[in-house]
Structure 1
Amino acid sequence: MMKYLFGCICSLLLLLPSGLGAQGSDEKRPPVTRTFFLNNAYVVQSPGKVIDLGSVLIRDGLIQAVGKDLKAPADAKVMKADSMYIYAGFIDGLSNLGVPKPKEDDRSNRGRGQREYNPSYERAGIQTERSVVDMLSPEDKALSEMRAIGFTAAHVVPRGGMLPGQGAVILLGGDDAGKMIVSEGSSLFAQFQGASGVYPNTDMAIMSKFRELYTQARQHKTHSESYAKNARGMSRPAQNDVLAAFGESIDGQRAIFFAVDGIKEMHRALTLSKELGFPLALAEVTMGQKAIAPLKASGASIFLTLDLPKAKAEAKKGEKEETDEEKMMLEKQRAAAQQLHEEQAAMLSKSGLAFGFSTLNAKAKDIRPNLERMIKAGLTEDQALAALTTTPAQMLGLSDIMGTVEKGKIANLVVTDQPYFAKGANIRYVFVDGMPSEYEVKKKKKKKPGDPDAKVMAAGEWNLEIDVPMEQMATPTLTITDEDGSLSGKLVSGMGTNDISNMSLEGDNLTFSYTTEGGGQTVTVSFDLTIDGDSLEGSMSAGSFGSFDVEGSREPKK
């Protein structure tokens, strides 16, 4: 007889096969197998290279075989993938994924009593000695949100001021920060982020300070190397970890990644690189089509932002168009600027410039729609796929281990039921380091006849009843808040309190879903509910484990 244990993380319900006495245990179970077989799928090995109805064998975190006519080994778990599409996992060129925001408590007091024109390195936002690997948190919900749209690896950097520290490439899976790391010290990160109330706090001051630091770092490196060869007659070099961190960039071995906000900051970063001679990578690039010549001349790696200006919603039938002349002119200017952002990727591709994407300022829920907007503006699907896979792999020095679906590479894969960029395509599995996350396809509920545009209110405290074989999760409380149309909330049950951040209300249909780790895999559980006044009903689905009925009522306002 099989028992099932429902776990709850971020109000998710996960059904796990368990043995006697397993219920309530916090002990992590090893996966049953690390061998998986995907068969009869369209294997997109790289942009433009597809194996029709091929197979992929994964073993111990690596792709062991790719091709036609493969047979599933006896120890492999066969995943349902008939006529699906398999891609290499996507690579984020620069982000803060897995890096918690710093606490605000001590910031205002940091450096008090120092002269504003000569603050400490830390107060000035100069912390090149720091490594992002010391800050990683596998619990960051942004990791699972990005994984759910196909991202499996990311170049992540610290948060901070003008020089926050050193970046690393990580995998977007697992619960051990150390095991997430692919390469440490991958970059030195810089941005035009001024210090609060002290020097440098303007772009020009940041450029001046950067030149000063780089020159000092060169001198420090030369002195240290000379002392190491023959110390006699030389003063001992001072220990300075901030300056020492520039060493690999001075040698041309490590790029300095500049996150730029607009074309002016991009030109300033290009100027510093040309003057000082360090290898440059530009991230969060916008309006790059206005600087094609200098970008080509620089040889810099380019990562375009996936954060686009919000698209204006089309006017609903019956709504009056704006007729005020001044407002119409402003709207035309806004539309023209939006078009420039959407066309950037296509125009850079047309010019022959290669690029990846970065998500430092992007929200996971906006990324697929923004890619769709870029494709509508002229970017081809193969060009978009290259910017998500092969190009960032090459720019980050990862081509030997990821970026394509080939034997021997890390098993980072995305599996979809239609081509990824097709309208309505659903992600079914995402493999990170050979371990799968399974995603349930959301079925859109049909609206009640005669009520296609129902208007309901979701906010409030709801008492739910879920038809699950576990008392702790059978009667949770769902609290929903509505801030200017943005829904969020929390679910409280016998398993604890969990935040909810991705709710969607369309008509009377309320949906939200979450992922959780357990039993060596990740499962997505989705809630699909219909609100009718102060009552609701619907279902909760837990991946391949089935669906369960949900009912609920709203507490009266006190």
Structure 2
Amino acid sequence: MKRQFLKAGMAGLLMTGILAQTAWAQSDPTGKRRVTETYAITNATIFASPGQQATKGSVLFRDGVILGIGANVQLPKEAQLIPGDSLYVYPGFIDGAGLTGITKPKDLERPKDFVSSAPSDEIAGITPWRSASDQFSISGNQVDDWRKAGFTISQVLPDGGMIPGKASIMVLGNDRSVNVLLENTALAANFKGSRGMYPATAVGVMAKFRDVYQNTTLALDHSKLYASTAGVSRPEMTPTQTGMAAVVQKQIPVIFTVESDLEARRAISLQKELGFKLILTGLENYETVVDLLKSTGVPVLIKLQVPDDKAIKSQKADSASVATKAQYDRVKEAYEKALAQASLLEKAGISFGFSTADTKPGDALKAVQAMIKNGLSEKAALAALTTNPAQILGISRVAGTIEKGKMANFVISTDSIFKESAQIKHVVADGYVFDYEIKKKTAKENGKSDNGAVKVDGVWEYTSETPAGSSGGEITITKEGDDYSGTISYDDPSGGGKISTPIKNVSLNGKTLTFEFEVNAGGNTLTVTISGEISGKEMDGTMSVAQFGSFPMSAKLTTPSLTF
């Protein structure tokens, strides 16, 4: 098996998008076992919908459509069986707003006669005519990683400026299929100002959004008048107005990505003033806007992530001063509030779905489990993954539950999906079966496993390979008490040989080592995550960059540390 990393400058390859051409996978995520005739998951524990009691039985499906479910389903002789003994079947997860498989279009060059106070809409990031389906690739940007995490449908948002374009709902199925479920399902918007031009501020964005919306309304009125009245001048709608028309006509909602309660209030204020349909996403703290959300009925897609607890674990209250202890308490309170946001919405009676934007696929279920530990019910958690986003996206007729006639989208796990011991063994998306490797869970006790102590400190030589070539370097890890630190070397993006940079967030759980490091390429900072399974002096794992996907890597411990 080939192992991968960085040739001619890892960061240079990443920045040119070469790595986005290939989605590497574990086990058999190719979907070659197409459901062309009849398949059945047999003798499994089935959770057909949130809150419904689990049943033991089979799920029969053909060509991507569910034919039957239950203990008494008659299985035809030609049915190919997927043994479900001791397995749990759930509806396929639905991402309400994500960037999976999305590539950002190139920025336009500013013309010589550019006027910063009156830029063209396209240069200012106002491109409502664009569609996310044109930026989407089923084989890129962590599509398989998200499918492995249980997601079978994603409403993907286009990347760009304050109005980057329209979202599309994609099925994360076979790479040889047409994976568009619905196009142009919502208009994406945010409060990011345009750099060095109007609108550069949040207030300017509000003014510009209002201007675009109202001008589109006038253009549509003019078009209606022209169609019914003689002697009216011919209307000329701009691409921006044509792209905004579906929003003005209330055919699709606006998904506003907001970063603060102030931005949430601004988005709701615009919605009240102009009358468009609204969905909010991106907010981290809902406590101050819960009553507003409840009174307005605005749907919410919350981030599928929780803050890490490193700041909490690093606290040493025994030797701290009174002032420091008070600061510790504030940090802990903020951390606990962040973990409880999902349960806060549930208690307020606000249904919500999840957004995978800015989230790592491997952390998704861990985040849900953390939310459950902090007050979210399992029923609400499953609803946020299935029925709620299906309703928000308007696809409940075909997705969200396991029912006869709906799409064959399933998550098949080794245990109850919200248990830490659960692993996803199969995912069925659009009737395509994807198999994933199941690894034996080992005890997480100070880096020890059933094979003895796992030793990571020392010098590791690693190799990895992108579609553009192979390369490698050294990972040096040192241990200080219970903490780890170190460095990693890689090819200089500018062509200056090897360079070294610190690694951070080093964690050893059982046999799994994870850490991050940053690469600067052309003024842009990329965060690279390495996760590897250690066996003796060898490590096999993946190297992931959020924008470009995951790539296999391997390493050998060539110079172990002498400390124990």
Q: Secondary structure at the match of 1:329?
A: helix
1:145 corresponds in structure 2 to 145
8 Å Cα contact 1:111/1:120 also seen in 2: no
Correspondence 1:264 to 2:262: yes
CA shift for structure 1 position 485: 6.5
Q: Deviations for 1:4-36, whole angstroms, at most 9, x for unmatched residues? A: x9999767686899xxxxxxxxxx978484532
**Where do 1:147-296 residues align within 5 Å?**
147-176=147-176, 179-230=178-229, 232-296=230-294
User: Which amino acid counterpart does residue 281 of structure 1 have in structure 2?
Assistant: I
- Tell me, yes or no, if the aligned pair for 1:86 and 1:413 is still in contact at 8 Å: yes
| Structure 2 residue 57 is matched with structure 1 residue 57 | no
Q: Could you report, residue by residue, the CA deviation over 1:217-254 in whole angstroms, capped at 9, with x for unpaired residues?
A: 10011111211223x31111113121122222222221
Q: CA 1:458/1:255 → structure 2, altered by over 3 Å: closer, same or farther?
A: farther
AA in 1 matched with 2:415 = Q
- Across the aligned residues of Structure 1 and Structure 2, the Cα RMSD in angstroms comes to 3.7
What displacement does 1:325 show? 4.2
Match of 1:498 in 2: none
Whether the aligned pair in 2 keeps the contact of 1:456 and 1:507 (CA below 8 Å) is no
* 2:156–2:170 contact (8 Å) kept in structure 1: yes
1:66 and 2:64 equivalent? no
Q: Please state whether the residue corresponding to 1:285 is helix, strand or coil.
A: coil
The one-letter amino acid of 2:390's match is A
Q: Deviations over 1:149-177 (max 9, x none)?
A: 1111111111111100011111112214x
Q: Tell me if the contact between 1:155 and 1:168 (Cα under 8 Å) persists in the aligned partners.
A: yes
Q: Could you give the per-residue CA deviations for residues 17-67 of structure 1, whole angstroms, max 9, x where no partner exists?
A: 9xxxxxxxxxx9784845321111111111121342111011101111111
SS in 1 for 2:340: helix
Q: Does residue 1:383 correspond to 2:380, yes or no? A: yes
* Distance change >3 Å, CA 419–CA 305, structure 1 → 2: same
Determine the structure 2 residue equivalent to 1:47. 50
Q: Is the counterpart of residue 123 in structure 1 residue 123 in structure 2?
A: yes
Which residue of 1 is the match for residue 455 of structure 2? 454
Letter aligned with residue 300 of structure 2: I
Alignment: residue pair count: 489
1:96 aligns with 2:95: no
Tell me the SS of whatever aligns to 2:137: coil
TM-score, normalisation: structure 2? 0.78
Deviation at 1:326, TM superposition (A): 4.2
Partner of 1:364: 361
- Give the whole-Å Cα distance in 2 for the aligned partners of 1:233 and 1:434: 56
Alignment CA distance shift 1:155-1:552 (3 Å): closer
Matched residue, 1:520 = none
Q: Residues 456-535 of structure 1 correspond to what in structure 2 (within 5 A)?
A: 456-457=457-458, 459-461=460-462, 506=508, 509=511, 528-532=533-537
Name stretches of at least 5 consecutive residues in structure 2 with no aligned partner: 5-21, 478-484, 492-504, 515-530, 543-552, 560-564
**Partner secondary structure for residue 453 of structure 2:** coil
Aligned AA (2:362) = K
Deviation at 1:141, TM superposition (A): 3.7
Other structure's SS at 1:258 match = strand
Tell me how far apart the structure 2 counterparts of residues 360 and 325 of structure 1 sit (CA, whole Å): 39
8 Å Cα contact 1:342/1:377 also seen in 2: yes
- SS for the counterpart of 1:169 is strand
| Alignment partner, residue 441 of structure 1 | 438
* CA distance in 1: counterparts of 2:326 and 2:233, whole angstroms: 67
Counterpart-to-counterpart distance in 2, 1:222 and 1:365: 49
- For residues 539-558 of structure 1, what are the alpha-carbon distances to aligned partners after superposition, in whole Å with 9 as ceiling and x for unaligned? 99xxxxxxxxx9985679xx
1:354 aligned residue (351, 354, 357): 351
- Aligned equivalents of 1:111, 1:322: Cα separation in 2: 61
- Retained in 2: the 8 A contact 1:93–1:283? no
Deviates more, 1:423-432 or 1:438-447: 438-447
Is residue 305 from structure 1 mapped to residue 303 from structure 2 by the alignment?
yes
What is the distance in 2 between the residues matched to 1:378 and 1:127? Answer: 41
Amino acid at match of 1:185: N
Asked if the contact 1:510–1:531 (Cα under 8 Å) also holds between the matched residues in 2, the reply is no
Q: For the residues of structure 2 that align with 1:478 and 1:38, how far apart are their CA atoms?
A: 43
CA pair 487-136 structure 1, distance change in 2 beyond 3 A: farther
Which amino acid in 2 is paired with 1:345? A
TM-score (norm 1): 0.78
- Structure 1 position 81 matched with structure 2 position 78: no
The answer as to whether partners of 2:462 and 2:555 remain within 8 angstroms in 1 is: no
CA–CA separation in structure 1 for the residues paired with 2:407 and 2:328: 47
Letter in 2 for 1:41: A
Match of 2:426 among 429, 434, 454: 429
Contact 1:282 1:302 in 2 (8 A): yes
* 1:481–1:272 CA distance, 2 compared to 1 (3 A): farther
Change (3 A) 1:192 1:234: same
2: distance between equivalents of 1:376 and 1:537? 32
- Whether the aligned pair in 2 keeps the contact of 1:111 and 1:119 (CA below 8 Å) is no
Q: Deviations over 1:420-439 (max 9, x none)?
A: 10121111111100111112
Conservation of the 8 A alpha-carbon contact between 2:261 and 2:286: yes
Change (3 A) 1:127 1:449: closer
C-alpha separation between the residues in 2 aligned to 1:111 and 1:308? 43
Aligned equivalents of 1:66, 1:488: Cα separation in 2: 53
* Counterpart Cα distance in 1 of 2:423 and 2:449: 25
Residues 316 and 188 (structure 1 numbering): CA distance in 2 closer, same or farther, change over 3 Å?
closer
Distance 2:180 2:330 in 1: 44
CA 1:146–1:463 in 2, change beyond 3 Å: closer, same or farther? closer
Tell me which of the two structures has the higher relative contact order, counting C-alpha pairs closer than 8 angstroms and 6 or more residues apart: 2
**Residues 486/256 of structure 1: CA separation in 2 closer, same or farther (3 Å cut):** farther
> In structure 2, what residue type is equivalent to 1:175?
D
* Residue 136 (1) aligns with residue 136 (2): yes
Pick which of 240-249 and 109-118 moved more. 109-118
Residues 327, 486 of structure 1: alpha-carbon distance in 2 compared, 3 angstrom cutoff: farther
| Counterparts in 2 of 1:15 and 1:175: CA distance versus 1, 3 Å | closer
Please state how far the C-alpha of 1:401 moved relative to its aligned partner. 0.2
Distance of 1:160 and 1:348 partners within structure 2? 30
Paired residue type of 1:170: M
Structure 1's 430 and 226: CA in aligned 2 closer, same or farther, altered over 3 A? same
Provide the identity percentage: 32
2:415 counterpart residue number: 418
Query: Cα gap change, 1:139/1:537 in structure 2, threshold over 3 Å: closer, same or farther?
Result: closer
Tell me how far 1:144 sits from its aligned partner.
1.0
Q: Does structure 2 conserve the Cα–Cα contact (< 8 Å) formed by 1:6 and 1:16?
A: no
Q: What displacement does 1:72 show?
A: 3.1
Moved more, 192-201 or 233-242: 233-242
Task: Report the CA distance shift for 1:481/1:206 in structure 2 as closer, same or farther (over 3 A).
Answer: farther
Aligned-partner SS, 1:272: helix
Change (3 A) 1:275 1:552: closer
C-alpha distance in 2, partners of 1:389/1:310?
Answer: 25
- CA deviation after TM superposition for structure 1 residue 405, in Å: 0.3
Q: Deviations over 1:353-397 (max 9, x none)?
A: 111111222222222221112111111000100111011101110
Tell me the residue number matched to 2:335: 338
The CA distance in 2 between the partners of 1:141 and 1:488, in whole Å, is: 24
Mapped to 2, the partners of 1:449 and 1:408 lie a distance apart of 46
Quick one: which amino acid aligns to residue 266 of structure 2?
Answer: R
